[in-house]
Chains A and B, each alone.
Chain A
Amino acid sequence: MVAETLVFLIQVWLGVGALVAGAFLLIGIGQVDEDAHGAFAFRPLLIPGILVIWPLVIWRWWVVSTGRDINRHIKAAPRRSHGIVTILLMIILVGTLLISFAIHQERSINIAPVKLDMS
């Protein structure tokens, strides 16, 4: 039941994404980026991305087209968090490998079958 619901939600997500992709690539892209004017060959390449992150696309479309994109600080890259990400990655990777080898169960290859005594 949970798996069926999950698959259904994924289908809905992709369906809505397809509608957003159509609207954005035909109407919105020209409103948000002047470099896209007259450039059509690259637009099909954007479809898979819109299918996946369409809520983000709608939000940015609204922000840019309504002139709310004035906070210049948002254009700065989050490089200050890179060190924390590196350390977290280290801990998770090492921990994952340790757990994997700790729970590993050795088995012999080609174990000879044993006849059970059913008497």
Chain B
Amino acid sequence: MSVKYVPVQWNVFKFLYDFALLVIIMGFLWVFVHIIPDQLTYDPSITPQIQNMRAFGSCAFFLLTAILVIGPLARIDRRFLPLLYNRRHLGVLTCFVAFSHASFVIRWYFVFSPTDRYVALFGTNTAYNQLLGFPFESFGIFALLCLIILATTSHDFWLKFLTPRIWKSLHYLIYPAYAAVVAHIGLGTLQDQPVSIFGFLVVLCVALVVGLHLMARRCELETTDSSALHRVDAYWHALFPVQEIEEGYARVARIDTGDRIAVFLHNGKLSAISNACAHQNGPLGEGKIIDCFVTCPWHGFQYDVTNGRSPAPFTEKIATYQIRVREGIVEVDERANPPGTPVEPLNVEKEDSV
């Protein structure tokens, strides 16, 4: 949450997070360059330059896998939330590692030729009409471009300037980037050597990403079960019994417009806000209310549940919703109020209130 932009909003946790990341990355590279060559027999044997190239490439792949599993892990088990908190720094570091990999490639394979190295990169292999020998470099270039876009637009300014919808859509590029990296490896280095432990690790990482995303999806559907929901008229939806909401917490509903709505119970009164945090769309409904403010479990942004506004001097706003209770069932109007619109909390003890 910021009033005036700064390059990086450092705090102790971020320092520790980044320090741990650097130690892990440097440790991985050291092991890959100094330990692994003696453990593996490459066919054909490779030069130290290629070994460095593979070290950075492998590191980027594992980091990208980590980025993709942190999200679903945090959805499945809240103890992983601290890993999510500073994930953008992990993304930026991954981009640097991938860039180093590309730099090694260009400065080794394309440097001993009178042809411009970048022209050679795009023009050396053009066998796009066959799978065996397919120009796997193009997948790597595409993935690197995606990572550059993600890293260079990770500052909070971009989220506000582009709007959460565009920013989030842009950052969906992490998925095609990962698919491209898997294709880059699968049609590249995996074809260059006998199936090795690296091939096994690639399969394991992909299985992890796919499995955890499926599990998280299932968890999300269970916690926002829409099977009992139904429209009561043109705009109003019946959600769930009031008794199912715990004091100080929310219950989240996904109505058939696709919107997720968090209905909070605070001091015996109900308030409904969008479940998506204005920052990075974190699940506000999984936060707890303290002094009328709910805290996003992802990055700590806070909102007053009665008006969807962050406490001053912060300026973030999210949509609020009109709700009512009929025969003990919470109902919501699908027409979201403009972000930051105050809505009088609903006393649940009043039967059939509107």
The residues of A with any CB-CB pair to B shorter than 8 Å are 2-4, 6-7, 10, 32-33, 35-39, 41-42, 45-46, 48-49, 51-53, 56, 60, 64, 69, 72, 74-81, 83, 85-86, 88-90, 92-94, 96-97, 99-101, 103-107, 109-110
Select from chain A the residue with minimum beta-carbon distance to B155. A45
Extra 8 A-B pairs, beta carbons < 8 Å, given A49-B155, A80-B259: A52-B145, A52-B152, A60-B161, A76-B274, A77-B164, A85-B175, A89-B175, A100-B190
Q: How close is A79's CB to chain B, nearest CB, in angstroms?
A: 6
A55 CA to B152 CA, complexed, in Å = 15
Q: B259–A76 contact, CB under 8 A? A: yes
Q: Which of B121, B165, B210 contacts A90 (CB 8 A)?
A: B210
| 23 pairs from A and B in contact (CB 8 Å cutoff) | A2-B123, A7-B116, A33-B161, A52-B152, A56-B166, A74-B165, A76-B259, A77-B168, A78-B172, A79-B260, A80-B259, A83-B217, A85-B175, A86-B213, A89-B209, A90-B213, A92-B179, A94-B206, A97-B182, A99-B131, A100-B191, A101-B186, A101-B199
Q: List chain A residues, Cβ under 8 A from B281.
A: 77, 79
A37 CA to B158 CA, complexed, in Å = 15
Q: A104–B210 contact, CB under 8 A? A: no
Query: Would you list which residues of chain B between 150 and 209 have a CB under 8 Å from chain A?
Result: 151-153, 155, 157-158, 160-166, 168-170, 172, 175, 178-179, 182-183, 185-187, 190-191, 194-195, 199, 202-203, 206, 209
Q: List chain B residues, Cβ under 8 A from A105.
A: 132, 191
A80 CA to B168 CA, complexed, in Å = 12
Q: B210–A93 contact, CB under 8 A? A: yes
A92 CA to B274 CA, complexed, in Å = 32
Using A3-B119, A7-B116, A35-B3 as known contacts, say yes or no to A96 and B182 having CB atoms under 8 A apart: yes
A78 CA to B155 CA, complexed, in Å = 20
Q: At the interface, yes or no: B5 with Cβ under 8 Å from chain A?
A: yes
Q: By DSSP majority rule, is chain A's interface helix, strand, loop, or mixed?
A: helix
The residues of B with any CB-CB pair to A shorter than 8 Å are 2-7, 41, 43, 116, 118-123, 131-132, 145, 148-149, 151-153, 155, 157-158, 160-166, 168-170, 172, 175, 178-179, 182-183, 185-187, 190-191, 194-195, 199, 202-203, 206, 209-210, 213-214, 217, 258-260, 274, 276, 278, 281, 315, 319, 336, 338-339
Q: A35–B165 contact, CB under 8 A? A: no
Select from chain A the residue with minimum beta-carbon distance to B278. A75
Q: List chain B residues, Cβ under 8 A from A45.
A: 7, 155
Select from chain A the residue with minimum beta-carbon distance to B132. A103
Q: B276–A35 contact, CB under 8 A? A: no
**Count of CB-CB pairs between chains A and B under 8 Å:** 171
In order of increasing CB-CB distance, the 8 nearest A-B pairs are A100-B186, A3-B123, A80-B258, A49-B152, A3-B122, A48-B152, A77-B281, A39-B5
A106 CA to B157 CA, complexed, in Å = 50
Using A75-B163, A103-B191 as known contacts, say yes or no to A7 and B119 having CB atoms under 8 A apart: yes
Q: B194–A74 contact, CB under 8 A? A: no
Q: List chain B residues, Cβ under 8 A from A88.
A: 175
Q: Which of B131, B148, B217 contacts A52 (CB 8 A)?
A: B148
Select from chain B the residue with minimum beta-carbon distance to A10. B118
A45 CA to B152 CA, complexed, in Å = 8
Using A74-B165, A79-B258, A89-B175 as known contacts, say yes or no to A48 and B132 having CB atoms under 8 A apart: no
Select from chain B the residue with minimum beta-carbon distance to A44. B7
Q: B131–A86 contact, CB under 8 A? A: no
Q: How close is B333's CB to chain A, nearest CB, in angstroms?
A: 15
Q: B179–A33 contact, CB under 8 A? A: no
Q: B157–A36 contact, CB under 8 A? A: yes
Q: Which of A7, A46, A64, A79 contacts B157 (CB 8 A)?
A: A46
Q: A89–B149 contact, CB under 8 A? A: no
A72 CA to B5 CA, complexed, in Å = 23
A68 CA to B133 CA, complexed, in Å = 49
Select from chain A the residue with minimum beta-carbon distance to B205. A93
Q: B155–A33 contact, CB under 8 A? A: no
A78 CA to B259 CA, complexed, in Å = 9
A76 CA to B169 CA, complexed, in Å = 11
A41 CA to B336 CA, complexed, in Å = 37
A88 CA to B49 CA, complexed, in Å = 36
Q: List chain A residues, Cβ under 8 A from B5.
A: 35-36, 39, 42
